[in-house]
Amino acid sequence: MMLKHTAVVTVVVVLALGSAAASNPLAVLQSDASLEEKAEACRLISISGDTDALPVLESLLADEQLSHMARYALEPMPGPEADAALRRALHITTGTLKAGVIASLGVRRDAAAVPELIALLADDNGLVVEAAARALGRIAEPEGVNALSKAIADPDRDYAATQAVADGLFAAAENALANDERADAIRSYDDVYAIEALPGVIRAAALRGAILARHANDGLPLLMDALTGDDATFFEAALRAALELENRDAVARIITDVLPSLSADRKIQVVRLLGELGQDAAGPALLREAETGPTAVRVAALQAAVRLAYAPVIPVLAQLVLAEEANLATIARDGLSHFPGSEGDIAVKNMLKNDDAQMRRIAVELIGKGALPDPANLLMQVANDDTDEAVRLAALRSVKEYVGVPQMQGLLGHLLEARSEDEMLAAEQGLVLLAMQQQDNADSMPAEIITALCDALNNSDDEVQRAVVRILAATGSQKAFDAVLPLTMTNDDNLQDTAMRAVCDWPTPLALSTVIAWVKTTDSNTLRARALRSAVRLLALEKDTPEALSQHYATLLEQAASTDEKNLILSGLARIGHAAALDAALEQLDDESVRAEAILAAIAIAKQLGDSPQDAEALERAKSLIPELRQGIEE
């Protein structure tokens, strides 16, 4: 109780202080308030812009703990008085506090502070020097920028100071560009880039800026020098700048001129750049690189040319699909598969006319991967007419990804008159996939599909019959089931086994009563186990009443021959919220091998029970048998 009282008092005090600070933050700054309260007062003044607080804020600039919050309040304050206060603070602060004041002058872009900031470029404190350099850049007055240009050339500055001076010049350049003072921006970038003693990353940043700041084509000579020069850092900077230049066509043209002179490693990067630039002017150069040279360069050139949709590269791609170099062959095939526009489609179709069967097979594989729109009929034509078995098989295997009802008769023809076992298997796979596509609407399955399959079932040899049975099973339809079920009693052992497997694998509850009957009557342990698993699966799909479903599960539990089978049945029973289901689970409690699973099922069932007298009676019986049931329900 005391803790609760203390918490309430604390909240009241905090709210009272917050209210006081909100009503008169200046009074808080002039009081003996805590550091946190004064910091909050500064925050409120930064919002209100109360210039009456200037004297107090100025006095805090030399305060180790509140200087930063005082600057926070001063930075957005209107009028030159805040600038003057910050400038005066330059003479009463040192080190970190002075660097903070300098940074605030930069934020406010106080031009009157420039002379003092220039002098501070020679300060003994590194933090002060760095802050002064960056502030001069933000203020961007000509006098300050000139001072930075001189300072950048000083070889005695340490890295941190040099970086700060460069940052200042970069900020000045960006400000100049924002004001459309391009010449001033170029001068700042050039001043940094010209100092060879500077670290490479700083000069590279200046190079990028110098290229981009120049009008249109004026930056291209700098770009060319960097691309052909020895410095890898400048090369990378030039690549980035090339993507940012506005005149992409001119950039692509000039880059293609230097491409032949570059090393293989650089060629790869430049070739990729040409692909990203997306200009047709790069096409001829990419084609030359794609035809000869190191594999890695050719691969990059092929990819870039495809990205540009540069049609003259298509014959090269077609030629390279059979290349011994695996990378080239892969890239060529991918390029043809995804070449934009109709030219790629035409090339792939022309490959189907090639005298080389391997070339035709590759074309079929490319079509199977999406090289052509709506390719089903074309693939069926190849499967029918090509003289090479490997090509025909490739077409049959590829068509199954695009199969539809119009291809059904063709696939059935390949199944019934297959020229090889592989052809029969490919046709069967296509028909199974077609059947599965229609499975969700089994009752509206096109009649011609089921009729043709049933006709084939009665007019084919044993091997084909078994294939048709598997296809019919994939449809899940009533007519298919009526055709397959009699075959479970045929004298042909192979066909009978296939039919029984098909019934057990039936995708709809049509087979439920049959498989439950097999569980109860068969002498075959193999068939009983298979039928039992099928029954549990189909019961999850059945839409019968909870009481009827519970009875089916109870029947299966009576027939179960192993712990695993009982556990499987109990897991299905657990989803039925009915008294009969709970009773069936409770009957398994005496079997120690499944007691744990039976308890879990009982708990799951109990949570789903309604409030009928039958359910209530079953629940009380369960509680008397399973002490942990009450806790399980509550959880």
Domain ranges, ordered by start, for the chain: 79-195, 214-308, 312-402, 426-507, 512-635
Please choose, from the candidates 429, 344, 372, the residue with its C-alpha nearest in 3D space to the C-alpha of residue 364.
Answer: 372
CATH topology of domain 79-195: Leucine-rich Repeat Variant (1.25.10)
Counting residues of the chain whose pLDDT is more than 70, the rounded percentage is 94
Residue 3 scores a pLDDT above 60: no
pLDDT of residue 18: 46
Q: Could you tell me which residues come within 8 angstroms of residue 263 by beta carbon, excluding any fewer than 6 positions away? A: none
pLDDT of residue 630: 64
pLDDT of residue 483: 94
322: which 2 tokens? Answer: 């059979």
Across the chain, mean pLDDT equals 90
562 phi, psi to nearest 5 deg: -150, 165
Residue 7 scores a pLDDT above 80: no
Residue 367 scores a pLDDT above 80: yes
Interatomic CA distance for residues 249 and 280, integer angstroms: 8
Counting residues of the chain whose pLDDT is more than 90, the rounded percentage is 76
Q: Which helix (H) or strand (E) holds 79?
A: none
How would residue 580 be classed by pLDDT, with cut points 50, 70 and 90? very high
What is the pTM for the complete model shown? 0.69
How would residue 13 be classed by pLDDT, with cut points 50, 70 and 90? very low
Distances (CA, A) of 393 to 179, 254, 400, 407, 567: 68, 49, 11, 15, 45
39: which 2 tokens? Answer: 């910091």
- Of 204-208, 311-315, 436-440, 563-567, the range with the lowest mean pLDDT is 436-440
517: which 2 tokens? Answer: 């009957």
How would residue 10 be classed by pLDDT, with cut points 50, 70 and 90? very low
Interatomic CA distance for residues 382 and 380, integer angstroms: 5
196 phi, psi to nearest 5 deg: -70, -20
How long, in residues, is the chain? 635
How would residue 5 be classed by pLDDT, with cut points 50, 70 and 90? very low
pLDDT of residue 23: 64
How would residue 575 be classed by pLDDT, with cut points 50, 70 and 90? very high
| pLDDT, mean of residues 485-505 | 95
> Does 135 or 623 have the greater pLDDT score?
135
| pLDDT, mean of residues 350-379 | 93
Interatomic CA distance for residues 564 and 499, integer angstroms: 26
Interatomic CA distance for residues 438 and 76, integer angstroms: 69
- Of 79-93, 306-320, 326-340, 431-445, the range with the lowest mean pLDDT is 431-445
- Of 186-195, 247-256, 328-337, 445-454, the range with the lowest mean pLDDT is 445-454
Q: Each residue of 509-546: b (16+ CB within 10 Å) or e?
A: bbbbebbbebbeebeeeebbbbbbbbbbbbbeeeeeeb
| pLDDT, mean of residues 4-26 | 48
pLDDT of residue 277: 92
Decide: 476 and 439 in contact? Cβ < 8 Å.
yes
Q: Each residue of 429-444: b (16+ CB within 10 Å) or e?
A: bbbbbbbeebeeebee
Find how far residue 212's CA is from the centre of its chain.
33
Residue 155 scores a pLDDT above 90: no
Decide: 426 and 414 in contact? Cβ < 8 Å.
yes
Decide: 97 and 67 in contact? Cβ < 8 Å.
yes
SS (H, E, C) 202-267: HHHHHHHHHHHHCCHHHHHHHHHHHHHCCCHHHHHHHHHHHHHCCCHHHHHHHHHHHHHHCCHHHH
Interatomic CA distance for residues 255 and 285, integer angstroms: 9
Q: Could you tell me which residues come within 8 angstroms of residue 243 by beta carbon, excluding any fewer than 6 positions away? A: 273, 276, 277
> Does 16 or 24 have the greater pLDDT score?
24
Please choose, from the candidates 290, 284, 210, 279, the residue with its C-alpha nearest in 3D space to the C-alpha of residue 251.
Answer: 279
Q: Which helix (H) or strand (E) holds 551?
A: helix 546-559
Interatomic CA distance for residues 189 and 207, integer angstroms: 7
pLDDT of residue 433: 87
Using DSSP's 3-state secondary structure scheme, residue 50 falls into coil
Interatomic CA distance for residues 220 and 255, integer angstroms: 9
pLDDT winner (highest mean) among 20-34, 311-325, 426-440: 311-325
Burial (CB < 10 A; 0-12, 13-18, 19+), residue 631, is exposed
pLDDT of residue 451: 85
Decide: 457 and 469 in contact? Cβ < 8 Å.
yes
pLDDT in tens, 83-117: 999 999 999 999 999 999 999 999 999 999 999 99
Q: Could you tell me which residues come within 8 angstroms of residue 382 by beta carbon, excluding any fewer than 6 positions away? A: 352, 360, 364, 391, 392, 395
Residue 439 scores a pLDDT above 90: no
Q: What is the chain's alpha carbon radius of gyration, rounded to the nearest angstrom? A: 41
pLDDT of residue 78: 92
169: which 2 tokens? Answer: 């010049």
Please choose, from the candidates 208, 148, 137, the residue with its C-alpha nearest in 3D space to the C-alpha of residue 172.
Answer: 137
Decide: 157 and 165 in contact? Cβ < 8 Å.
yes
Amino acid letter for position 346: I
pLDDT of residue 620: 87
pLDDT of residue 409: 85
Please choose, from the candidates 583, 544, 436, the residue with its C-alpha nearest in 3D space to the C-alpha of residue 535.
Answer: 544
pLDDT in tens, 401-411: 888 888 888 99
Please choose, from the candidates 336, 266, 327, the residue with its C-alpha nearest in 3D space to the C-alpha of residue 305.
Answer: 336
137: which 2 tokens? Answer: 């850049």
